[in-house]
Each structure stands twice: as C-alpha cells, then as structure tokens.
Structure 1
Amino acid sequence: MSTTVVLFTRDLRLSDHPALYAAAAEADRVVPLFVLDPALLRVSARNRIAYLADALADLRGLLRERGGDLVVRWGDTAAETARLVVETAATAVHVSADVSALAARRARRLAEAVGAAGARLRAFPGVTVVPPGALRPVRGDHYRVFTPYLRAWESAQWRAPLPAPERVVLPGSLDPGRLPEPDLTRHGIGTLSPQRARGGVGAARAQMRAWLSGTAPDRGEGSRLGCHLRFGCISPLEVALLARDHPDGAALLRGLALRDFHHQVAWASPGLHRADRRPGRIRWREDEAGFAAWCSGTTGVPIVDAGMRQLLREGYLPGRVRSIAAAYLTRVLRVHWKRGADHFHSLLVDGDVAANYGNWRQVAGIGGVPRPDLRFDPLRQARRWDPDGSYVRRHLPELRGVPGAQVHDPTLLPQP
C-alpha cells in the first residue's frame, strides 16, 4: 500500500488544498503532519502562536471526521518529516510551496532529508491565488510595480478550487502526538493581545460569511480575513472567487492581488524584506522617544494613536491605517522602516513576511517605485479615510465625546 506524507505549514485547511487533494487521490494512506519547531516558536509573535494552537485543534477535528488525524511532532521540520517517512514507509512528501527565505531554506533541507529517507518531495500551489512566478513582465522574472501586476493578475486564468477529501486513511498504529498546550504562548515575541482573533477553519468560514452578508461588526475596518489567509485556514482562491462575484468585493479583491504581488516579489528575492534596495537615499533618524510613543499609541496624532492602540489590543489593523501609521513613522519621524515593520510583525496575527515587509518598503518609498521625498499629511489622510471620526472614537475612549471630524484635531491629545 502506498503512503504519502502531507506536511502542513500555513495551509491549515482541507478544502482547496492541492497538496492534500493529490495525496488522497494518488496514495492508499495519507499522513497529515504538522511539526512544531521550538526554534521558530521562539521568534514568532505570541498572537500568531495563539492562533496556530486554535487552528491545529480545528484541523485535527476536521481530519478525524474523515477517519484520519493530524500527526503532530516537535522538533526540526526536516528531521521530523524524514523520521516519519521512514516510520510509515512513505514514498512521497507533499507540501504547499511558499516564498519566504525561511520557507526556501526549509524546502532545500526537506528535499535532502526526505530524499535520503527514500521519498520524493513535491510542492503544490495554494498559498496565493496565482502562484508566484506564474505572471511575468516582458522583461524580467517578476513585476516590481503593482499596477501592471494587477492588470495581469485580473486577466489571468485561475485554477479551479478543489474539494476536501471525503476520507483520509492513516497507517495503523501511528501515534498522532499531542496538540500544543494552552500555554504554548510562553514562547514567542511581542505581547498577547486580549482581543485577538480566534484561529481555525471554523472561525475563518464564519468571518467570510459575515463579510459576505454585511453583518460583520466594524465592517468598515476591512474584511479581517488576513489572519485566516496567513495561516491558510481559508483558501485565498476561494476568497477571490467570492469577492469577484460580490458587489462590494473590489477592495478585498485588490487586497488579495496586492498580497500575491508581494509574494511574487519575495519569490524572486527571498531576502528582500530585510534589505534596503536603495540604501543611503533617506537620512534616517535615531528617535527613541518618538518610536516609543508610536509603539504605545501616544504620539498625539489621533488616527495614528487609534491604530497603534488597536494593534496592541487586537493584533490587527485595517490596511489604510497600517499605511498611515507606517508613513507617520518613516516620513514624519524619519525612523527606519525596519523598526516599524519588526514591531508590526511582533504583534500582527496576520503577520505575513512578504506582505508586511513589502508594504513597509512601499510606504517608506524604497519599493519598486522609489518615492522617498513624497510628502505625507496624516490629518488629510485621516479625514479622507475616517471622515466622520468613527474609527478614532472607537479606539480612543478619551475622544468619544468629540463630534464628527473634529476628532482628528491633533491638539485634542497630549503631545509627547
């Protein structure tokens, strides 16, 4: 009987999972595997670790409904996968292709370890709507500017979504291992946000239904699907298809395209998120007091402070507020963009390396279209995005009695 191991990473679902679908179709037995690597947990945001624990429990339940289970191992991903290949006599390991520098290193080590154990590693799409590298300009291996990429992305032929397998058969007598304990968040960096999103397929589907029906609370703050997409608890392709047919889906669809854009940039240059493509063009400043005020939401600029306090409380920020907060740090305070990107990454439940650092590079003016001298007016941006002041009042209790757009007046808050 043939056996295939499916290594789950950030694709924690059963529906539209090409790697799992192929394994179930081709092999007699399928071993769904997730490896908890202590080295990675130590540098992951506590908010994302908490989401991961929820998502793994949800995934195990879904697999058990189909006769299978989620096999959980602790240790180095390549070594534990190879060990399971030997234990189950598997001939193949399936994984969803990813683009970060960490994912590239993992793929190389997996190929070596799995090959030495007698199996073949196969990578499948599923992390993005359009696979990185599938769309290329006339010259070059990837798009450096979003607008032409968006045109190509919108006109591309997407693959058809795949159903979840009806049944998953594990090898007999295989110990599935234990799920993470509730205190898994003792690992990691950043603080644990008290109102962070719950993880898992169930939560992702519920959020998608609420967005489609218009019943999601604070709908004006975005779809809030980012964390579910980051962990793959919902398929980005399925979300894109639903958004494309929805009367209010344009903004969500554009966000998915932007996410794919940053992934194809990271695919072409896996270490780019840590690099200044044009170093020396911006004179950054050392402003510890300003950076601390920005992190704590006490800059005195209402829209910035509202966003940074929401980030601390929820591990989430609407896309426009991310851009406003990032522009304030980099273009007003002139603090280096990496410091801001790292702070976001330590708190965001949806902390996707490619998207987070890619967006920060763009806002700082060192991305594909360099604009380091672009002027930025936070008050003007605030009034355009939050014209009635409802967002600021929601997240700054001390300003809830201020009417309308007056809430954006920077003299209302103490200046640092």
Structure 2
Amino acid sequence: MSSVAVVLFTSDLRLHDNPVLRAALRDADEVVPLFVRDDAVHRAGFDAPNRLAFLADCLADLDAGLRDRDGRLIVRRGETAREVKRVVEQTGAASVHIAAGVSGYAAQREERVREALAGTGCDLRVHDAVVTALPPGRVVPTGGKDHFAVFTPYFRRWEAEGVRGTLAAPRTVRVPDGVSGDALPDRDTIKDLSPGLARGGEKAGRKLVTSWLHGPLADYEDGHDDLAGDATSRLSPHLHFGTVSAAELANRAREKGGPGGEAFVRQLAWRDFHHQVLAARHDASWTDYRPRHDHWRSDEDEIDAWKTGHTGYPLVDAAMRQLAHEGWMHNRGRMLAASFLTKTLYVDWRVGARHFLDLLVDGDVANNQLNWQWVAGTGTDTRPNRILNPVVQGKRFDPDGTYVRRWVPELAEVKRSAIHEPWKLAGPDRVGIDYPDPVVDLAEARSRFERARGLD
C-alpha cells in the first residue's frame, strides 16, 4: 500500500525551490497538494479583489504545473484545519507538511491544524518559512533578544549567515486517486479589479525574474528611485504569493553581482527584516511597535483627497492614482504617500495601511504594516520624525514631471518648472487646469506635527 503525505500550500505557490513540497515527496509515495480557501481570510478583510484575482492566476498555474508532472492541485473551501483533517481521513495520510508563517493568523492556523490532527496518527511537520530568503529567527541578537529591531546590524548577520541553496522543481508528483476538490477560482468572476492589474502565477513570475536579472538589475542601484523610469523589479506580488522564491532570487542576484545586484539583495534583506519583526511581535500588525503617544487627526475630507489622489500635491496624487489603476505602487511613491498621510496630514498610519491592503496585490502584512510604521515613526526607523516633502521629492525623483504627467493628466501641459508646484501658476498659465489647490500648507503641517511630537 502506498504511503501518503499532504503538502498544505500557503504563501509558497510554486514548484521550483519549494522545500516543503520536496519534503513531502521524500516522505511518501503519493502526495496531496492542497490549498484551502479559508473563510477566516474573508472575515479578517484580507481577501481584497486584486489579491483574489492574482491568487486565482497562481492556483491555476500551480495546477497546470502539477498536471504536467502527473499530479493536480486539490482546492478546498472552508476552515483550514477541518479541511486538512478531512483529506487526511480520506487518504490515510501519515504526515502533513506546511511552511511556518510569521503572522498571528498563520500561528493560529498552525495550532488549529495541530489540534485537528491530534489522535489521527498523522504528524504535522512544520518547515522553515519559505516566503523569505532567510527564515525569521535564523539570526537573533546577542543578549537573549528574539529579534533585531534595527536593520543595519540585522543585515550584517543576514549576510554572514548566507541563504540556503536552490532546489529544482520535482519531475513527478503522484496524487492518490479518489481525493476531490472544489473548482479553481476564476479571475474573470471577480469584480472591482484595478484596470492595470498584472497577471499572477509561477510561470509569469519566473519569466519576470529572467528578464529582470538579464537587464534592469544592472542599473538598479542608480535607478531604483527613478519614478518615471520604473526601474524596479515589480516582483513583490510574486514574492508575496510565493510564486517566486526569495532565496533563489537572492542567490541569482548575487551571482550577477555588481552594484545593482548588491543593492537588490539588500532590499530582499529589508523584506526579511520586517518578517522577523512580525514573527516575534505579532501585535505589530495593528499596534505601535514604538509608541509615540500620538493623538492622530481624522479629517475625512483630507483622507478622501489622499485616497483618491486629489491632495493638490502632484507626486502624492500620481502615486495614489497608480495604486488605484495597477494595484501596485513604486516604493518611492509608497514612502512619500505614507509620509504625507501620517506626518503632513497627521492621520493614523492604520488608516493608510488599511487602504493599501484594500488595493495592493502585494498586500503583505509584514511588509505593508511595518513599512507604514517605519514611515510613521512608530516602527523601527532610527529617525522617527523625518518628513518627506512632496515638492522636494518630486524635484529629486521626477525632475521632468514625467511620472506626474503619466498619472495626473490634468497637468500634462504644465511646464516643467511648475509641475510640482502648480498652485504657483497664474494668469494664462492657469487657464484650463482643473486641478485642486493643496489640502494643507506644508509649513503649517510640519509645525503641527512637530508640536504633536513635542519637537517644537
């Protein structure tokens, strides 16, 4: 009689470099590749349309890859622990394999699966997290602390530790007969998608990796902040869903070397850094990591202007409109938009983080929430009161106004000298421009923030 193992896919929707799948294949003659669409994700508000559509692409691609290897993906809808137990009982599986997560939800899911399997004779085997290049907790500070709170010392240890080797995709995945699943989700049935949303799946992700490594990566150090040049990898959605391996990406970028490769690997380490913080401090997804005793404002008109890209500050508005159209935003735009909301408008970072999670296809709790906290000054930033000036940022990172004109067509004909300060236009230059005045004066906003933080 053939032995059976279950591999529970979570944020590792790939066949290449998947240690969890490899372990399950070593453990048994037949494997049930299982993905559970858990209703708890819906109740928590994390099943935003853009991510649901990308997920549908990922699951369809994973199923196709498994079928090429004589297997198939089993998709179930319901509570994860219950569905895992049902599959175990139906197949007589002796082990269930899952990658460790970093969020509170992931920890609860793991514990519920463990409890469901108690008494079944089936072992739960939890492997290192595979959504990062280096598993959270692999390196820790001296002195008994459970995580690094500052990036630079973390990065030194991260580099010294090194990233594991890359695994090939399996040639065959034998699935036991008789185990059934639900229909794969259909992207075309999902409403309210961003018009420019990218396609998901491992095939698309690997193609993007190849083009990135053999081209733009070389110029990444100099070009990653160029908003108009869009010289970033755009791999964040694939890293979030695990259709691309962060470990493989780090190894291949290092092989390419050069300033671009080094700068890109550093960004992957930043991503790992935030995951190790959240793994140690689950509450950092909704509470201040370092409280500043803020008394946040809540002006609904200003918040709405920010969300819709009508603040009167062109670079902020361009970034927010890119988010709405693509479900993605350039990292420099994310930093500026977050700084404007939390420090210029002095609005709670959780308001912005929630809006980003509603739209971002790469809406990752660790990266989204902790980057928002970093910018708000309640997180790990060693300069918590820095404020990004949208005019200065525009002149520095979009000097010709190309990015602004792309996303704010009302300003398409505005001359370069005024593109980031259109309120200064007067007379004939102002005619025909239907663009709002600034919602706030930058000097007054800075003074308000400094008083609130006790800096005046």
Deviation at 1:23, TM superposition (A): 1.1
Q: Distance in 2 between matches of 1:80 and 1:261?
A: 33
Name the SS of the counterpart of 1:82 in structure 2: helix
Pairs aligned (count): 412
CA gap 1:384/1:320 in 2 versus in 1, 3 angstroms:
same
Name the SS of the counterpart of 1:73 in structure 2: strand
Matched residue, 1:225: 235
Alpha-carbon displacement from aligned partner over 1:365-397 (angstroms, at most 9, x marks no partner): 011246443343221122222233222222222
Q: Distance in 1 between matches of 2:93 and 2:366?
A: 32
Q: Distance in 2 between matches of 1:290 and 1:34?
A: 41
Does the 8 Å CA contact 2:163/2:251 hold for their aligned counterparts?
no
What is the percentage of aligned positions where both structures have the same residue? 48
Q: 2:180 aligns with which of 175, 182, 186?
A: 175
Alpha-carbon displacement from aligned partner over 1:220-272 (angstroms, at most 9, x marks no partner): 35210000000000101111112223342234222211110000001101121
Q: Distance in 2 between matches of 1:391 and 1:250?
A: 26
Matched residue, 1:272: 284
Deviation at 1:115, TM superposition (A): 2.7
Deviation at 1:290, TM superposition (A): 0.7
Matched residue, 2:302: 290
CA gap 1:173/1:375 in 2 versus in 1, 3 angstroms:
closer
Q: 1:144 aligns with which of 142, 145, 149?
A: 149
Q: Distance in 1 between matches of 2:358 and 2:57?
A: 19
Residue 129, structure 1, aligned to residue 133, structure 2: yes
Deviation at 1:172, TM superposition (A): 1.8
Equivalent residue letter for 2:51? R
- Structure 2 length normalisation: TM-score? 0.86
Residue 239, structure 1, aligned to residue 249, structure 2: yes
CA gap 1:208/1:81 in 2 versus in 1, 3 angstroms:
same
Matched residue, 1:250: 262
Residue 6, structure 1, aligned to residue 28, structure 2: no
Matched residue, 1:96: 99
Residue 376, structure 1, aligned to residue 388, structure 2: yes
Equivalent residue letter for 1:18? P
Equivalent residue letter for 1:113? A
Matched residue, 1:337: 349
Does the 8 Å CA contact 1:383/1:405 hold for their aligned counterparts?
no
Say which is worse superposed, 389-398 or 125-134, in terms of deviation. 389-398
Does the 8 Å CA contact 2:292/2:378 hold for their aligned counterparts?
no
Does the 8 Å CA contact 1:95/1:124 hold for their aligned counterparts?
yes
Q: Distance in 2 between matches of 1:116 and 1:180?
A: 33
Equivalent residue letter for 2:252? L
Q: Distance in 2 between matches of 1:54 and 1:375?
A: 39
Q: Distance in 2 between matches of 1:58 and 1:306?
A: 33
Q: 2:402 aligns with which of 360, 369, 390?
A: 390
Equivalent residue letter for 2:325? R
Matched residue, 1:82: 85
Name the SS of the counterpart of 1:159 in structure 2: coil
Structure index of larger Rg: 2
Deviation at 1:161, TM superposition (A): 1.0
Alpha-carbon displacement from aligned partner over 1:150-192 (angstroms, at most 9, x marks no partner): 2221222221111111100111232243111345535xxxx42
Residue 352, structure 1, aligned to residue 364, structure 2: yes
Gaps of 5+ in 2: 218-226, 426-434, 440-456
Does the 8 Å CA contact 1:97/1:127 hold for their aligned counterparts?
no
CA gap 1:52/1:381 in 2 versus in 1, 3 angstroms:
same
Deviation at 1:105, TM superposition (A): 0.5
CA gap 1:146/1:280 in 2 versus in 1, 3 angstroms:
closer
For the aligned residue pairs, the C-alpha RMSD in angstroms reads 1.9
Equivalent residue letter for 1:345? L
Residue 325, structure 1, aligned to residue 337, structure 2: yes
Gaps of 5+ in 1: none
Matched residue, 2:34: 33
Does the 8 Å CA contact 2:87/2:179 hold for their aligned counterparts?
no
Q: Distance in 1 between matches of 2:79 and 2:417?
A: 53
Q: Distance in 2 between matches of 1:220 and 1:408?
A: 19
Matched residue, 1:69: 72
